[in-house]
Chains A and B, each alone.
Chain A
Amino acid sequence: MSFLQAGNIHKHYGGATALQGASLQVQAGEIHALVGENGAGKSTLARIIAGSTRAGQGRILIEGNPVTIASPVDAQRLGIGMIYQELDLFRHLTVAENLIIGNLEFRGGSMEAFCHPFLQQVGLGESARRMVHSLSIGQMQLVAIARALSMNARLILMDEPTSALFEDAAERLFALIAGLKQRGVAIVYVSHKMDEIFRLSDRITVLRDGRNTGTVETAHTSAAAVIRMMIGRDLEAGQRAPRPLGDVVLAVDGLSTAKLKSVSFELRRGEVLGIGGLVGSGRSELGAALFGMDRVSAGAIRRQGTLGLVPEDRRLQGLMMQMSVAENGTMAVLPRLQRWGFLRRGQELAEMRGVAGRLGLHCRSLHDPVATLSGGNQQKVLLGRWLLVNPDVLFLDDPARGIDVGAKQDIYRAIDALAREGKGVILVSSELPELVRCCDRILVLCEGRLTATFTAAEATQEKILAAATSTGGHA
């Protein structure tokens, strides 16, 4: 008998339909991947099962018994835990306090003794007393996982758990998941990443537009087949034509800040320069230093022309979520859109339409709030903002993080086009295949130092990972 049977789940947000009759069945002790493009409804379905969102209609059985899951506490009682993509942690409490808060398993006694085994499991054994806001995003994710483990869940839903993790942390997570499966815990693994899905899962359920397009045994299918189920078409191949390189447009010499130690490199026009490294390695801080937001303690930055920066976290640092698509897109170029002190709104829409076309941005209207768009389209709006500025150097901080495969392709294509126009592009990414695919050269940072430089031809995932963790000089 299935541990979980969820059937005919419907959910509307205002006028928008998120789920229309979706279902999911999970066996005890299986790893079940839940996949679909952003907006397909997979996160909503997971949240309904975890009790953080209420279904409009539908039926949920646990071990054959009908249940009502109205809140996360109900879910916890039924043995269901969830790790949210946006990390539901209290930033101003300590790690240990985050673990015990609202935790029905904790019945008094020493907080740290209770937390220690779970923190040990995720590799945060020494961090119980640290404040959560002092941790990196990757470490916060581990705290969330430890929290779910400590609740003694029999089913854990994980929403894009590796989206902010570099590969070594991801490896640790995969080992954890395998261990949990051994102990009979079922995992629902929500993800876009085909390699992870095929490596981990027993079965795959695919959603498209709030409906099931099928559930398949992982052993009897292929990535291409799953992607076809997700997007309804085949993906284009990843080969690209070589790009001609121009003059040096950015030269960084011995750059040091609080987080960076003597970093030097050059960027040429027409070049895409990849930056690899773990979360916390200084890769985002490099952008902040170049953009003048962090104080530079030593070194020199020489640049021709202007610099644009697409920040790492599009919700916190990028977009004005209550404003429209067009308003967000033209945010950085408003002064040139005015005449006699007034904005020319026709001109604004015309420019925005041009950029939307270049990036394959899909929205009902440019006047819609940007919050109603999928993650991929939001990222395109943010990229569009800088395309309109037309800078000579563009720093993209993990632009494809947590967005669906179709939108990723569009962004890769835009990066290639920018380089061909003669821009210098710096691409930070957590995903090694993405770096290998898009970049001419790849720099690897570790603890604020530049530890290796590879050309596209010589880079492999193993070499980059070794440099990022500084485990060997063989690179």
Chain B
Amino acid sequence: MPARFQSFAALTGIVILAIAISPAAADGSRVFLQTGNLTDILRQISLIGMIALAMTFVILTGGIDLSVGSILALATSIAAMCLTRMAPGMSYPAHIALAIAAAVAAAGLTGVLNGAVIATLRIQPFIVTLATMIGVRGLAKWITQNENIDIGFGRDVAASFAALFREKAIVIGSYALAAALFALVLARTVFGRHVRAIGDNEKAAQYAGLPIRRTKIWVYTISGLLSGFAGVLYAAENHQGNPNAGVAYELDAIAAVVIGGTPLSGGRGSIAGTIIGSLIMGVLTNMLRLKNVDSNLEMMIKAVIIVLAVAVQRERESA
């Protein structure tokens, strides 16, 4: 049985538990099941969820991308600076599009750099992206001079941008679209097949004549692009460009991927699993917050969940 069914069973269990222990609202319904609460969960997981989608591809090739949090911070800063400090005399939509394009392009370029160094110089992805994580964080702090670029609530272009892109429908919609696209690419395209093949056995992929270098560069580029787009949404949601944003997001994204049944060794895994992994983390957080469980206890419970989720899958494998 594929690993994702196990993660699905775990998600079902947690949802049932969340419903069972949810506090009741004034009208007697379960707070957990209110539409507002359920969409809260989806919106809250969307950013890291998106990063986790791209992280799945990276991990499937047997790599890792530690730089996603820093890239997100860089993108929030660039988007906010373009919106608040440039007056190019264009229409609002064009200005907003320019800001998003600039942020995502910078993020994508960082990804290209990661991929190019990993694929051509053959340095371990952990080391390359660790360096990028440090360097890009520095770049984000440097261009902003350590300041948060606040986005106000008026009628200016920046405020309109934030008002639009912090809409739940836009955030959740972007995540859903990205998830569908990634699932399709992994299951049904040559690129997706190459990604898994390289992670399964790179030596064999070389003997089979697969485009290893090109595939790796793409995988890290996609990771950069998605982190950049998540950064744009972060800027809107938090009304600021923040060079300190996204610290430890890479670990949350990796946790979602691993809970979803993709081993760090690569070669095997699914997008559906990663989505379930993100949902498990989101539902769990929401459930514990609704019950006002102490935040330190919350961290300990999450630790147990991560190990349990992965242990159940390993158990099946070795049986």
Contacts and interface: CB of A to CB of B under 8 A. Distances in A.
Contacts of B200: 320-323
Contacts of B193: 327, 331, 334, 343
Contacts of B188: 342-343, 345
B120 to A, nearest CB: 16
B208 A338 contact: no
Contacts of A323: 196-197, 200, 267
Nearest to B192: A343
Nearest to B200: A320
A205 to B, nearest CB: 29
A385 B209 CA distance: 11
Interface residues of A, number: 25
Contacts of A385: 208
A472 interface: no
Given A309-B207, A316-B203, A331 B189 contact: no
A319 interface: yes
A311 B253 CA distance: 37
B301 interface: no
A341 B187 CA distance: 12
A323 B269 CA distance: 11
Nearest to A335: B190
B206 A331 contact: no
Contact of A343 (B189, B205, B210): B189
Interface string B168-203: 000000000000000010001110011011001101
Given A323-B267, A331-B208, A385-B208, A317 B189 contact: no
B194 A319 contact: no
Contacts of A113: none
Summarize B's interface: helix, strand, loop or mixed.
helix
B201 A321 contact: yes
A103 B290 CA distance: 58
A187 B207 CA distance: 38
A14 B319 contact: yes
A338 B194 CA distance: 13
B319 A322 contact: no
A318 interface: yes
A332 interface: yes
B201 A311 contact: no
B166 interface: no
A318 B201 CA distance: 8
Contact of A319 (B184, B196, B204, B268): B204
A341 B191 CA distance: 9
A335 B211 CA distance: 11
B197 A343 contact: no
28 contacts: A14-B319, A309-B207, A316-B203, A316-B204, A317-B204, A318-B204, A318-B207, A319-B204, A320-B200, A320-B201, A320-B205, A322-B200, A322-B267, A322-B268, A323-B200, A323-B267, A327-B193, A327-B196, A331-B205, A331-B208, A331-B210, A332-B210, A334-B193, A335-B190, A338-B190, A342-B184, A342-B188, A345-B188
Interface of A: 14, 291, 293, 309, 311, 316-323, 327, 331-332, 334-335, 337-338, 341-343, 345, 385
